[in-house]
Amino acid sequence: WGTGSAEEFSGANPTPALYRFFELFDWESIPAARSLARRPDLTPPFKPHFEEKLWLALLWSPSLREVWETEVRGSHLRRAQELIPYGWIVDPTPLPPHAALPRLEVNSWGQVAAFSQKKRHLVLKVSGFSELAWGSRGVVIGHDISGEEWTAALERACEEFDSQPWILQEFREARMVEHPYYDPRTGAIETMRGRVRLCPYYFVDQDGRSRLGGCLAAIAPADKKKIHGMRDAILTVCVADG
C-alpha cells in the first residue's frame, strides 16, 4: 500500500485497489471524485445515503410506518427500532394548533427549546453532507448544556432545515465497561471505566457478497457523554463470542 493526496489523484491511476480516507462532504475538492465513485475496488465505496442521519428519524415517522412494515421483515424492523432511539426531523414548518410532535407532546420547536434540563434528555445531530457530521462536531446533548445554548442550537437547526437538516433523538446512555490500557506516563497497565462505541467493518467481495471484516471498539472515559471524536480513548479490536 502507498499513500497519496486525494486532491492530486488521477482517475486514470492503474492502482488495482484504493482505500478512501476523505469524507464525502468534501467531494467537491477532489477532482477525481466522479471517477472514483464508479470504481468497484474503492473501500469504503461512495454510498452517500449511509451518511444521512435522516434515516434514523425517518424510521420513526408515523407517515412512513406502513412503508417500513411493507418493505422490511417484521423481526428486522423490530430489531432496528430496539437499537435506534426514537427521533424527529427538525422541520420548522408550523403544526396545526391541535397537533403535537409525537412523544414530545408539544406543538413547536420553540416549546422544545423551553424544556427544562430534566426534560432535555435529547440529542441534536447534523445530518449528511456537513463538515460537522463527523467526530461528534455536529452533536449537541441537551441536558449537558445551558438553556441558552440549547435554544440557540435548536434555532440553528430550524434555520438550516432547507440547506443542512438536523435530527433530534432521545438520548441513551451507553453501557459502562472496564478495560485495561497502557499508561505511557507511568509505564504501568491501568484500568479505565468508560463507554463503548462499536464500529463494525463490512467488506464486499468480487461476487457482491458482504462479510464482517472486523470491529473496532473506542472506549471513552466514563465522564464523557460523547463517545465519538474524544481525544482520550482506548482503541481496541473485538472478538465475537459464539
What pLDDT, in 10s, does the model give residues 50-71? 778 899 999 999 999 999 999 9
Taking a C-beta distance cutoff of 8 angstroms, is the pair 112, 104 a contact?
Answer: yes
CA pair distance 175, 242, nearest whole angstrom: 21
pLDDT classification of 12: cutoffs 50, 70, 90: low
pLDDT at position 97, please? 94
pLDDT at position 52, please? 84
Please enumerate in sequence order all residues whose Cβ is within 8 A of that of 157, keeping only pairs 6 or more positions apart, or say none.
90, 109, 124, 126, 165, 166, 168
pLDDT at position 186, please? 92
**Is a pLDDT exceeding 60 seen at residue 242?**
no
In the block, residue with C-alpha cell 484504493: 18
pLDDT (tens digit per residue) in 132-142 = 777 677 899 99
Annotated domain spans of the chain? 6-46, 54-170, 176-237
41: closest CA among 12, 20, 26? 20
Residue 203 falls in which region: left (phi positive, over 0), alpha (psi -120 to 50) or beta: beta
Q: What would the mean pLDDT of 167-172 be, rounded to a whole number?
A: 96
CA dihedral 65, 69, 74, 79 (to 10 degrees): -30
CA pair distance 194, 185, nearest whole angstrom: 20
pLDDT at position 11, please? 64
pLDDT at position 137, please? 79
pLDDT > 70: percent of the chain: 95
Q: What would the mean pLDDT of 18-23 be, rounded to a whole number?
A: 82
pLDDT at position 104, please? 96
**Is a pLDDT exceeding 80 seen at residue 88?**
yes
Q: What would the mean pLDDT of 187-209 be, rounded to a whole number?
A: 86
pLDDT at position 32, please? 87
Report the mean per-residue pLDDT for the chain: 88
Q: What would the mean pLDDT of 221-239 be, rounded to a whole number?
A: 82
Please enumerate in sequence order all residues whose Cβ is within 8 A of that of 235, keeping only pairs 6 or more positions apart, or say none.
216, 217, 218, 219
